[in-house]
């Protein structure tokens, strides 16, 4: 059928939020989420939150935004390090 496509190596297809593909770059899927997290945390710093509020914001953003994709695709080590760095800089 015309509506069926076969992806080349290195390309992914998003199915129910998970990115499925052969020989795909793992970090490419994560970059839009990291940018989204950075934007949210940048907006939060404008309000001069307390340390407790910052901890809560980190749990709401980093924890919730990455939770499904980590369960579905796994998280590369480089992305985990980058998210840890973002959290440390925010605190």
How many percent of the chain have pLDDT more than 70?
93
Half-sphere exposure of 85 (CA within 13 A, CB side): 7
**Pairwise pLDDT comparison (61 vs 1), residue with the higher score:** 61
Q: What is the largest CA-CA distance in the chain?
A: 57
What pLDDT digit, counting tens, does each position of 20-36 carry?
Answer: 766 667 777 888 889 99
How many percent of the chain have pLDDT more than 90?
20
pLDDT at residue number 39: 92
CA end-to-end span of the chain: 53
Averaged pLDDT score across all residues of the chain: 84
């Amino acid at each position: 059928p015309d509506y069926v496509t076969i992806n080349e190596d290195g390309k992914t297809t998003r199915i129910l939020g998970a990115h499925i593909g052969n020989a795909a770059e793992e970090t490419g899927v994560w970059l839009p989420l990291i940018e989204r997290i950075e934007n949210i945390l940048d907006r939060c710093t404008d309000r001069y939150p307390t340390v407790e509020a910052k901890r809560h914001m980190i749990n709401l953003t980093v924890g919730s935004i990455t939770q499904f994709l980590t369960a579905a695709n796994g998280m590369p080590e480089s992305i985990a390090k980058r998210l840890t760095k973002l959290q440390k800089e925010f605190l």
